[in-house]
Amino acid sequence: MGSNAAMTRRLKKPNPNYQSGKSPLAFTGTMEKDPVKELTDARRTYVARTGKTDLTPVEKTGAFKKLSKKQKRRYYELNPQEAPAENANFTLSKKTLLGV
């Protein structure tokens, strides 16, 4: 049937520095990796393959710890069910000058 490498496909992106007279496709390499989507796909694939829903909290995973603040916000926008509760550290009172 052929080798496994023949079935491996990667999307290419066009060269942003394209100049006329050169190849119209001007492929330079694979698309940039998106760590947010990779983390989302990894968690969904784990649940789909194993059937387990007892995932560790995403905040404790190594891949999530490596994300920047902007990427973490984007992850929570894409996966709102995994976002921490907004009022998790909310208290009703403040300390006064007397310390009460």
Query: What is the band of 16 on the pLDDT scale with cuts at 50, 70, 90?
Result: low
Residue 55 lies in a domain: yes
Share of the chain above pLDDT 70, in %: 54
Specify the number of domains making up the chain.
1
Q: What is the mean pLDDT of the chain?
A: 75
Residue 22 lies in a domain: no
Tell me what the mean pLDDT of segment 8-25 comes to: 58
- Write out the residue range of the structural domain in which residue 45 sits: 33-82
The whole-model pTM stands at: 0.57
Distance CA 5, CA 96 (A): 68
**36 and 67 Cβ atoms separated by less than 8 Å:** yes
What pLDDT shows up at residue 97? 67
Distance CA 67, CA 8 (A): 27
Residue 63 lies in a domain: yes
Residue 57 lies in a domain: yes
Residue 92 lies in a domain: no
Per-position DSSP letters for 39-76, written without gaps between them:
HHHHHHHHHHHH----PPPGGGSHHHHTS-HHHHHHHH
Residue 46 lies in a domain: yes
Q: Which helix (H) or strand (E) holds 37?
A: helix 35-50
Residue 65, pLDDT above cutoff 90: yes
Which residue from 55, 57, 56 is spatially nearest to 47, judged by alpha carbons? 55
Query: What is the band of 53 on the pLDDT scale with cuts at 50, 70, 90?
Result: confident
